[in-house]
Amino acid sequence: MSKLSHLAETLIGSEIVKLGNAINERIRNGETIYNFTIGDFDPQVFPIPKELETLIIESYQKHYTNYPAAEGILELRKAISTFIHEWEGIHYDAQEIQVASGGRPLIYALFKVIVDKGDKVIYGVPSWNNNHYVHLTDGEHCLIDCLPENNFMPTVADIKKNIEGATLICLCTPQNPTGTTLSANALKEICDLIIAENNKRGAHEKKLYLMFDQMYWTLTYGDTVHANPISLDPAMKEYTIFIDGISKVFAATGVRVGWAMGPGNIIAKMKAVLSHLGAWAPMAEQKAVAQYLLQREAIEQYLVHFKAEIEYRLQTIYNGLIALKNKGYAVDAVVPQAAIYLTIKLDLVGKQYANQQILSTQADVTSYILGEAKLAVVPFSAFGAGADNSWYRLSVGTSKKEEIPAMLAKLEEALVKLS
């Protein structure tokens, strides 16, 4: 086989998609699997808002099927500006907003606009896909191993040790894969550090920017409150690029409408990159979302039910795992805070099962839990953490409430077999 580009030869596909495809194949072959791998929603369980669905249908009936503007239609960007101001208290003009087909092309465009070959990019692990975007842009990986006592988030001390010469810091809160959040105090410390670092840099030096992925910001539970950089310090507006959209807040992962908000010069360059990729959201969906985002009462009603259903699943599984932990099994979980994810621990390396076989590696644990408990979850190693990390992401967007007791019982049966 002929040699391809260096990027192609070194590229690693999505570990989560690969795992999800393997699980789906087993399900198609008739195997019963409790699949908590994919960060998606089952539309039969979590449909998009009815009002949004109707607006999308009407938009197609009105033949909104031509090319949209490269930056997103003005009607939608104005609606996003209003939505963000009303719901989050921050202001961006239409020219400071870029629309695309979900978060991925926006993140890629942002990396291409900011990161040169060899530029240092700081990100915590576990985290979703930062490692791949750094690779796609030939950046220098600057990984921070994040700990459960810090909600698996990088601390200001972690970042400070690595900040010299860095071009981009990547934060996601609420976070995929952990379902945890960055507190306002912790975020404010990081913002102060970024501003101080940029004040030190000369006029001709590259600035340090913050990519702030808040795709899950409406999905918080209990006492958890989402914080954002520019509400904490308006000076951060010059250095922050938000990644946001409808994918998670409205269970609309397949509708493909996302947006970035940031300094006008950066947004303009992102538009230029995306205009060559053609990664715009479809015209009909843009028209529909533009109208829906202004329907505050409908959105509030949708979120009350949607969030309650997600929180019930997260809390029920959490309670079940803590009950197993209290029985003496080597499992654990982090209290649900946000998003559609539960962080769980399967600390089973070294355990023995039938015929004295030993679970020698974390990969053995993953395989054993899938085979014996029929439980499919994603190891944090798929999010950049080490191969021996015993923490996992459990995603509830495709789970059925009535299956949770059976799943927990099956897991206990598998744990009983270990010694």
Rounded percentage of the chain residues whose pLDDT exceeds 90 = 90
Q: Check: CB of residue 94 under 8 Å from CB of residue 85.
A: no
Q: Among 3.90.1150.10, 3.40.50.1820, 3.20.20.80, 3.40.50.2000, what is the CATH number of 6-46+300-416?
A: 3.90.1150.10
Q: Check: CB of residue 72 under 8 Å from CB of residue 97.
A: yes
pLDDT tens, position by position, 68-107: 999 999 999 999 999 999 999 999 999 999 999 999 999 9
189 membership: H or E segment, kind and range = helix 184-200
**Region 17-23 average pLDDT:** 79
Q: Where are the alpha helices (DSSP H) in 213-282?
A: 229-232, 264-277
Q: Check: CB of residue 143 under 8 Å from CB of residue 283.
A: no
pLDDT category, 1, cuts 50, 70, 90?
A: low
pLDDT of residue 16: 77
pLDDT tens, position by position, 335-371: 999 999 999 999 999 999 887 788 999 999 999 999 9
pLDDT tens, position by position, 153-169: 999 999 999 999 999 99
Strand, coil or helix: 353: strand
pLDDT tens, position by position, 289-316: 999 999 999 999 999 999 999 999 999 9
Question: Which of the pair, 252 or 29, is modelled with greater confidence?
Answer: 252
Q: Does domain 50-295 have CATH number 3.40.640.10?
A: yes
pLDDT tens, position by position, 230-266: 999 999 999 999 999 999 999 999 999 999 999 999 9
Report the C-alpha gap between 102 and 3 in whole angstroms: 32
Neighbours of 355 (CB within 10 A): 5
Report the C-alpha gap between 339 and 9 in whole angstroms: 34
pLDDT category, 27, cuts 50, 70, 90?
A: confident
How high is the mean pLDDT of the chain?
Answer: 95
Tokens representing residue 224 in the block: 């958890």
Omega before 282 cis (within 30°)? no
Q: Look-up: residue for tokens 């995929």?
A: 176
Residue extents of the structural domains in the chain: 6-46+300-416, 50-295
pLDDT of residue 29: 86
Report the C-alpha gap between 78 and 94 in whole angstroms: 5
- DSSP class of residue 372 equals I
Is the model's pLDDT at 19 over the cut of 90?
Answer: no
pTM: 0.95
Q: Check: CB of residue 114 under 8 Å from CB of residue 207.
A: no
Name residue 116's amino acid.
Answer: D
pLDDT of residue 31: 87
pLDDT of residue 144: 97
Is the model's pLDDT at 15 over the cut of 80?
Answer: no
